[in-house]
Amino acid sequence: MTVRQLALPELTDACAQLGVQGVGLWREPVQEYGVEAAAKLVRDAGLTVTTLCRGGFLTALDTDARARALDDNRRAVDEAATLGTDTLVLVSGGLPPGSRDLRGARERIADALAELGPYAESHGVRLAIEPLHPMYAADRCVVSTLAQALDLAERFPAHQVGVTVDTYHIWWDDRAPEQIARAGAGGRIHTFQLADWTTPLPEGVLNGRGQIGDGSIDMREWKGYVEAAGYTGAIEVELFNDPLWARDGREVLAETAARFVEHVVR
Amino acid sequence: MTVRQLALPELTDACAQLGVQGVGLWREPVQEYGVEAAAKLVRDAGLTVTTLCRGGFLTALDTDARARALDDNRRAVDEAATLGTDTLVLVSGGLPPGSRDLRGARERIADALAELGPYAESHGVRLAIEPLHPMYAADRCVVSTLAQALDLAERFPAHQVGVTVDTYHIWWDDRAPEQIARAGAGGRIHTFQLADWTTPLPEGVLNGRGQIGDGSIDMREWKGYVEAAGYTGAIEVELFNDPLWARDGREVLAETAARFVEHVVR
């Protein structure tokens, strides 16, 4: 998503040239390209698919909408398995229209996970609940903290349900370091994502995730927390950023790789 | 601030006509009108000043900037005392330019409170730390939850430092109800403010606070929490909202009063 301006063949080519060994994919471009074809493309480029984004949106009250959401999540699991990734990231969903019941919405997510967890397991896929920043609680994700995500995940086996740790969503939370330790102890850190916090936020607050190093987040500090919690998996950089999307994708990818080395690796 | 389009004499007149008995004031219009004159105006209209907004911005690293901030907060205490309100709301401040150290910034707030608390007490004024929504953590207020605000406040006597409970900032937080109980038990709920959560958020996310009843927050639920915690003070409605500011102020005030009756009182 960081370089969504690149078509999949350009993306895999650019990754290979830069020495980027893994890539997180989103469902829409994969579906457009064809899931099997995308899997072959990525495999032939020597790339690992780190995660598939995204399943979720599990908060509907309406029975039909709920059934459609579960169907779509099963399809997302199938796609993840075809792509050869073991992790499907979940954006859980916001409040249904007219509802003010955050607790009820969170409980419906648990109900859905009880159905989807075993299905994912049978396909070799783990679900990774992503707590989204509290500014998305109404319209995108009622799971706002790592603690809430773990409260949900821990009702299920770790190989079925874990969490996504994304710096952008949790950097403000003084409880997050202890929750990362909790997640690590349970084997539930299923992926670790980076984006920086920059202001002012754009209208709608979706596409303002800052390039690594441009904002308020100490990336090394957070990398330290997940490493101390035993995480050894891939680190993904996931930026939604209109100015970055308007630039040459290969240039943005190269810049992102350089920022990663400067602010995370060194 | 909800009807900042009304000059102070219009505001006091409109409040009197509507039967609104208390009003929270902001420093800028009070200073423009003259603090003594504003105090007389409000008193003559039979109105109580519920709180003065705002002190704070206590996170500067620079020594001169820090001294200026403390001076300004002492002036704010003086103004509160002159206006006859016992509560000064604090917006604590964001990260200094280039800093990524949230913990350090929070600690500097504590240092400042140690100086300001006794000064406020000697003027009959209590400081009310307002946790702001985590989306303001970088640029406006590093205190993002009621728990953090109470961790700071509880280092000082309750008659010096307490908290502001504002639905807009805490509605997403499943720990907030227990923290309201904690605040109430300690006599630290110094004011209770309402605004609703509406989306999409505007650019900069400052002026999107929704009219009561327009958004995702169950106002009665939160009123129930503060009442159960023993709060018997005023309930303030504080909206920052460009479309509301563009309308006739008396009409907005009447609408707000009606919404308050519909969604909070009944």
Quick check: is A1 in a domain? no
Alpha carbon distances (Å) from B130 to A46, B3, B32, B50, B260: 52, 21, 25, 15, 22
Report pLDDT for B167: 98
How large is the angle between the packed helices A219-228 and A176-185, nearest 10 degrees?
30
Q: Decide if pLDDT at A168 tops 90.
A: yes
What CATH number is given to the structural domain containing A212? 3.20.20.150
Nearest-angstrom CA–CA distance, B266 and B253? 18
Report pLDDT for A234: 97
Report pLDDT for A196: 98
Question: How many domains does chain B contain in total?
Answer: 1
Quick check: is B130 in a domain? yes
Quick check: is A119 in a domain? yes
Q: How many CA atoms lie within 13 A of B155 on its CB side?
A: 17
Report pLDDT for B12: 97
Condensed to tens digits (0 to 9), the pLDDT of residues A76-131 reads 999 999 999 999 999 999 999 999 999 999 999 999 999 999 999 999 999 999 99
Report pLDDT for B266: 81
Instruction: Residue B224: count other Cβ atoms within 10 Å of its Cβ.
Output: 13
Instruction: Check the CA dihedral B165-B171-B172-B178 and report its sign.
Output: positive
**Are B139 and A200 a contacting pair at CB < 8 A?**
yes
Which pairing describes strands B87-91 and B189-194: parallel, antiparallel, or unpaired?
unpaired
Q: Which residues of B touch A95 (CB under 8 A)?
A: 216
For chain B, the average pLDDT equals: 97
Alpha carbon distances (Å) from B134 to A133, A145, A179, B264: 8, 11, 17, 25
Q: Closest Cα of chain A to B176: distance in Å? A: 13
Question: ipTM of this predicted complex?
Answer: 0.96
Q: Closest Cα of chain B to A227: distance in Å? A: 20
Condensed to tens digits (0 to 9), the pLDDT of residues B71-88 reads 999 999 999 999 999 999
Q: Which residues of B touch A205 (CB under 8 A)?
A: 135, 200-201, 205
Containing structural domain, residue B197: 8-265
Confidence of residue B256 (pLDDT cuts 50, 70, 90): very high
Q: Closest Cα of chain B to A137: distance in Å? A: 6
Q: Decide if pLDDT at B225 tops 90.
A: yes
How large is the angle between the packed helices B249-260 and B8-18, nearest 10 degrees?
40
Quick check: is A2 in a domain? no
Residues A4-19: what's their mean pLDDT?
A: 96
**Are B173 and A134 a contacting pair at CB < 8 A?**
yes
Q: Which residues of A touch B (CB under 8 A)?
A: 95, 99-103, 133-135, 137-139, 144-145, 148, 171-174, 197, 199-205, 215-218, 221
Residues B101-116: what's their mean pLDDT?
A: 98
Confidence of residue A47 (pLDDT cuts 50, 70, 90): very high
Report pLDDT for A139: 97
Nearest-angstrom CA–CA distance, A65 and B102? 41
Q: Which residues of A touch B167 (CB under 8 A)?
A: none
Report pLDDT for A266: 81
Residues B114-124: what's their mean pLDDT?
A: 98
CB A83 within 8 A of CB A48: no
**Are B172 and A218 a contacting pair at CB < 8 A?**
no
**Are B148 and A174 a contacting pair at CB < 8 A?**
yes
Quick check: is B1 in a domain? no
Quick check: is B3 in a domain? no
How large is the angle between the packed helices A176-185 and A146-153, nearest 10 degrees?
20
Condensed to tens digits (0 to 9), the pLDDT of residues B229-254 reads 999 999 999 999 999 999 999 999 99
Quick check: is A3 in a domain? no
Quick check: is A74 in a domain? yes
Condensed to tens digits (0 to 9), the pLDDT of residues A193-241 reads 999 999 999 999 999 999 999 999 999 999 999 999 999 999 999 999 9
More confident call, B266 vs B132: B132
Percentage of chain B beyond pLDDT 90 is: 99
Q: Among partner residues A100, A144, A218, which is closest to B218 by beta-carbon distance? A: A100
Report the residue count for chain B. 266
